[in-house]
């Protein structure tokens, strides 16, 4: 029997929801993995505890002001430390077969690109990367022979059932959406919702930003754009259907009428395990589905009036060029303002749409171009916030 070599793995965004689920699987399969780099933005205590537990080679803190605290905590352990964007890039560049890209937001773009450029296998959770710079990122994947494994549950589901050799026979890709905590609510009733209500997702346990995105359904909009970049399909072939049970994670329909779906419990450890073990499979300690317990799987149309963000994301995808990057930047600004109670929930789409209306959507030609667009869009969105401050 052949013994499988140990896989070297780096986790960018190790202290987040996806990062911790990844490390949970690594902990349970410690004989299969060697942890190389771990990163966080500001949680020094959590990062140093993880670095010690997993005997990482390098621990990186995004916030440079926290470097001394990190050094102090890791003194005498032999674990190297670094900080800031340069440190995050170093973490991604360290020799490791798999890089879990689980930083939240556009901040994850440069480190993810660095991992892609050394031809690594990148388990991609950070959807904002593809939304801001999908064309550039996919081109780099091709040029450097990197492997991109989608971790987002919908895209991981599609990846599992999409027959790439028969892409021309694919008629539709159907993304499922839980509908979030406000499914069925009218626009009027969403005026007074609080951050605590918005991040209380009915099925998934996720970070704050993506939880708010799920509540506005911007998350599904970002995922439509993500699917467009990841799979050889046309924009018009991507559909969204609300599926409150979050059991069918997405579907692909073929020309003979067959629809292939991937099902599972709503637990990110399934798509993460798929990505860590690829091209094999590994055990994940997730609740097994009991179809008799579930009873019924239901599907509904999206209410695009109450959840305007999904329509805005589609419009940005159709407009192309810089529009998705602007959409993403404005959304990040608006969500942060909502979380700090400076913006109403229903004003998130207004900030996004007004920012899109005033920014130039000329397509970015380089990564630095993407960052310029991101910066301009963030400043424009900040001005929009000022007009709507609570
Ligand atoms: P979390 O907010 O839980 O974690 C984010 C991680 O990124 C943390 O480690 C955080 O560090 C770090 N981070 C935050 N800001 C920066 C920054 N500016 N520079 C460097 N690092 C930073 O997010 P999630 O785990 O929920 O999501 C991560 C990504 O995966 C997102 O893009 C999300 O859309 C995507 N995703 C998440 C899913 C989920 O179930 N959670 C499902 C599908 C996709 P610190 O802890 O120190 O702040
Ligand atoms: Mg998803």
Cα 149 from Cα 9, distance rounded (Å)? 14
Secondary-structure breakdown of the chain: helix, strand, coil percentages, each rounded to the nearest 5:
50, 15, 35
% of the chain exceeding 90 in pLDDT: 97
Q: Which of 249, 231, 121, 251 has the alpha carbon at shortest distance from 166?
A: 231
Quote the ligand 1 centre to 224 CA distance (angstroms): 19
Ligand 1 closest atom vs CA 222: 34
Quote the ligand 2 centre to 155 CA distance (angstroms): 7
Cα 29 from Cα 51, distance rounded (Å)? 17
Pocket test for ligand 1, best of 207, 267, 275 (most atoms within 8 A of CB): 207
Q: What is the pLDDT of residue 3?
A: 64
Domain span(s) for CATH 3.40.50.720 in the chain: 7-150
Quote the ligand 1 centre to 3 CA distance (angstroms): 34
Ligand 1 closest atom vs CA 20: 25
Q: Is the pTM of this model over 0.95?
A: yes
Cα 52 from Cα 59, distance rounded (Å)? 9
Asked whether residue 5 carries a pLDDT value surpassing 90, the answer given is: no
Residue of minimum CA distance from atom 22 in ligand 1: 41
Q: CATH number of 7-150: 3.10.580.10, 3.20.19.10, 3.40.50.720, 3.40.630.10?
A: 3.40.50.720
Ion ligand 2: residue ranges with CB closer than 5 A: 152-154
Residue 93 in contact with residue 71, Cβ under 8 Å?
no
Quote the ligand 2 centre to 152 CA distance (angstroms): 5
Mean pLDDT of 48-72: 98
Quote the ligand 2 centre to 107 CA distance (angstroms): 19
Q: 385 - beta bridge partners?
A: none
Residue-wise pLDDT for 178-223, tens only, equals: 999 999 999 999 999 999 999 999 998 999 999 999 999 999 999 9
Residue of minimum CA distance from atom 2 in ligand 1: 207
Q: What is the pLDDT of residue 1?
A: 53
CA distances from 390 to 2, 263, 308 (A): 63, 42, 20
Residue 139 in contact with residue 366, Cβ under 8 Å?
no
CA distances from 124 to 61, 71, 128, 272, 333 (A): 20, 29, 10, 10, 22
CA distances from 191 to 167, 286, 306, 309, 335 (A): 43, 36, 11, 15, 15
Ligand 1 pocket, CB under 6 A: 13-19, 40-43, 62, 88, 102-104, 107, 125-128, 152, 204, 206-210, 268
Work out whether strand 238-242 and strand 98-101 pair parallel, antiparallel, or are unpaired. Answer: unpaired
Asked whether residue 11 carries a pLDDT value surpassing 80, the answer given is: yes
Domain span(s) for CATH 1.10.1740.10 in the chain: 168-266+300-388
Residue of minimum CA distance from atom 23 in ligand 1: 207
Q: What is the pLDDT of residue 120?
A: 98
Residue 286 in contact with residue 274, Cβ under 8 Å?
no
Pocket test for ligand 1, best of 13, 63, 84, 313 (most atoms within 8 A of CB): 13
Quote the ligand 1 centre to 1 CA distance (angstroms): 39
Q: Which of 354, 339, 357, 340 has the alpha carbon at shortest distance from 384?
A: 354
Asked whether residue 50 carries a pLDDT value surpassing 90, the answer given is: yes
Residue-wise pLDDT for 243-255, tens only, equals: 999 999 999 999 9
| Chain-centroid distance, C-alpha 59 | 22
Residue-wise pLDDT for 101-131, tens only, equals: 999 999 999 999 999 999 999 999 999 999 9
Q: Which of 284, 58, 56 has the alpha carbon at shortest distance from 156?
A: 284
Q: What is the pLDDT of residue 389?
A: 84
Q: Which of 191, 204, 63 has the alpha carbon at shortest distance from 125?
A: 204
Residue-wise pLDDT for 327-379, tens only, equals: 999 999 999 999 999 999 999 999 999 999 999 999 999 999 999 999 999 99
User: How would residue 27 be classed by pLDDT, with cut points 50, 70 and 90?
Assistant: very high
> Which ligand has the shortest distance to the CA of 211?
1
Asked whether residue 2 carries a pLDDT value surpassing 80, the answer given is: no
Residues 6+ apart with CB under 8 A from 158: 150, 173, 175, 227, 230, 231, 250, 251, 252, 262
Q: Which of 349, 131, 352 has the alpha carbon at shortest distance from 225?
A: 131
> Which ligand has the shortest distance to the CA of 17?
1
Q: Does domain 168-266+300-388 have CATH number 1.10.1740.10?
A: yes
Mean pLDDT of 44-51: 98
């Amino acid at each position: 029997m052949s013994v499988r070599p140990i896989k070297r793995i780096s986790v960018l965004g190790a202290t987040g929801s996806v990062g911790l689920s990844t490390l949970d699987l690594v902990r349970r399969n410690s004989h299969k993995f060697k942890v190389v780099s771990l990163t966080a933005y500001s949680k020094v205590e959590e990062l140093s505890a993880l670095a010690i537990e997993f005997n990482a080679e390098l621990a990186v803190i995004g916030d440079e002001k926290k470097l001394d605290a990190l050094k102090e905590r890791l003194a005498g352990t032999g674990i190297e430390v670094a900080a800031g964007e340069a440190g995050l890039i170093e973490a991604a560049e360290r020799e490791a077969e798999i890089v879990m890209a689980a930083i939240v937001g556009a901040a994850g773009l440069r480190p993810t690109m660095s991992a892609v450029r050394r031809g690594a296998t990148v388990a991609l959770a950070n959807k904002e990367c593809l939304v801001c710079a999908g064309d550039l990122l996919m081109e780099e994947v091709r040029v450097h022979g990197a492997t991109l494994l989608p971790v987002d549950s919908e895209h991981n589901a599609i990846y599992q059932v999409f027959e790439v050799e028969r892409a021309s026979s694919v008629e539709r890709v159907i993304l499922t959406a839980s509908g979030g905590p406000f499914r069925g609510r009218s626009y009027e009733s969403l005026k007074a919702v609080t951050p605590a209500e918005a991040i209380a997702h009915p099925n998934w346990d996720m970070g704050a930003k993506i939880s708010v995105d799920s509540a506005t359904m911007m998350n599904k909009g970002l995922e439509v754009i993500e699917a467009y970049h990841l799979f050889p399909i046309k924009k018009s072939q991507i559909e969204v259907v609300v599926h409150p049970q979050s059991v069918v994670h997405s579907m692909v329909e073929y020309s003979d009428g067959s629809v292939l779906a991937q099902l599972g419990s709503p637990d990110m450890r399934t798509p993460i395990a798929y990505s860590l073990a690829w091209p094999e499979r590994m055990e994940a300690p997730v609740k097994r589905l009991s179809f008799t317990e579930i009873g019924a799987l239901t599907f509904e149309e999206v209410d695009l009036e109450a959840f305007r963000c999904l329509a805005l994301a589609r419009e940005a995808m159709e407009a192309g060029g810089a529009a998705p990057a602007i959409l993403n930047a404005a959304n990040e600004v608006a969500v942060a303002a909502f979380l700090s109670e400076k913006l109403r929930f229903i004003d998130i789409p207004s900030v996004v749409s007004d920012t899109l209306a005033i920014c130039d959507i000329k397509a970015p030609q380089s990564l630095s171009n993407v960052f310029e667009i991101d910066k301009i869009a963030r400043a424009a969105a900040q001005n929009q916030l000022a007009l709507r401050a609570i």
